[in-house]
Amino acid sequence: MSIILYKVDVRGRASLHAKLIEQQPERAAFGERSFELYADDNARNFGYVFLHWESLRSAHRFLESAESLRLVNEWPIEEVIFSIPLYDVGKTMEEINRDKSKA
């Protein structure tokens, strides 16, 4: 499992949440499983979008696609501060150990 984390400058969190719901089928075609939207309690104009992916490979495929840029550009935000793909270290270690035991 993998996550793409976006930090965004957003004024209308409800509008962003609605757009994320609307776009979910398009992201799912790349392997997205779900998403979450969090607000920064100390800086309420910042939001954090977590897109959950079936694998790091599917997350990278999405990030490298023209579709990714198009979808993010449709978000009702001021700007994307950063985006970063993350992977589950525990799951990755389980996969490595499983592959070693098969060898």
Question: pLDDT tens per residue, the chain (103 residues)?
Answer: 899 999 999 989 999 999 999 999 999 999 999 999 999 989 889 999 999 999 999 999 999 999 999 999 999 999 999 999 998 877 665 665 666 677 6
CA neighbor of 54 nearest in space, from 77, 27, 21, 14: 27
CATH number assigned to the domain comprising residue 53: 3.30.70.100
Range of the domain at 82: 2-102
- Looking at the 3D structure of the chain, how many domains does it have? 1
Contacts 24+ apart (CB under 8 A), 29-36: 30/58, 30/61, 30/62, 30/65, 30/67, 31/55, 31/58, 31/59, 31/61, 31/62, 32/58, 32/62, 33/1
